[in-house]
Structure 1
Amino acid sequence: MPTFVTHEMYTCSHIVETVHRGFGIDSGFRLEWIPVQSTCPLCFFKSLLDNSYELELEDDDDEDRRRILKHLMHPYKQQLTKHLQVLVDNKRCALSGIRGRYSGFKQIRMLEKLSRMALKPKSLGEFQATLQVLINFQKGEPRYPTREQGPL
């Protein structure tokens, strides 16, 4: 069965490895490197959280915080959506075994809830708390996550 391994290298120098398996009797191995022109989800969430704290220091008014949140989210919403979807997809691909499957479904539901909270936060504080949970979740995952996909 041939094996194809893809390493995606982000601009922050973190790597995500994907293992693809194919049908056949060939026992070949192929490795490819794909440069990704963005930061990894962990670094992206950290920078977004840091930016939110820096902007929050400028104003103490609730109206100003809503304005800050709107301006902070606007340029990054598409990239945030993409990273959150990748987290959920990676977790779905990693399901294995009965015990792992239950835990995986629970984590997927949690990630989906966090995604909704991050994309439509009610306040700047909720947004910051959600980002912190996502950062902690990413830190708990393997540093170089491996995603194994079925036959090509």
Structure 2
Amino acid sequence: MTRFLRLAGFGAAGASGVLPNLAVMWLLVDHLHVHYLPAAVVATEVAICWNFALVDLVVFRARRTRPWPARFARFVLLNNADLAVRLPLLAALVSWWGANELVANLATLVVAFVLRFGITDRFIYRRPPAPALVESGATV
């Protein structure tokens, strides 16, 4: 699969993860009256699991060189590091600029997309090593 197709698949998986993310955040904020920042954390964890399943099973299926727990751990670590960057941005958009919580959350997800793809493509699902040439032992 070409890098462009992986990017498109990663984008489709991520886009599909926006729905559970926003649904969980909406449920927590609007119905359970949880503050938007902890709600964003819970919503992100749900979306991380959703996205990992799609990315691992579809997008990077041919590049799975590590056992799934190692891939999942790296994916979770990357996305939680991403969350640590997104939360202050989310707080700024809501508190300083008066943005709606869901719109601001969506904006932070879009901003982080390209960076997450690059790290996922190069480090979590790195290209398998090229097969070594086997010497035939033949003499000339």
TM-score bucket of the superposed structures, by smaller chain = 0.3 to 0.5
Scaled by the length of structure 1, the TM-score of the pair is 0.31
Structure having the higher helix fraction is: 2
> Bigger relative contact order, structure 1 or 2, given CA contacts below 8 A and separation 6+?
1
* TM-score, reference length from structure 2: 0.33
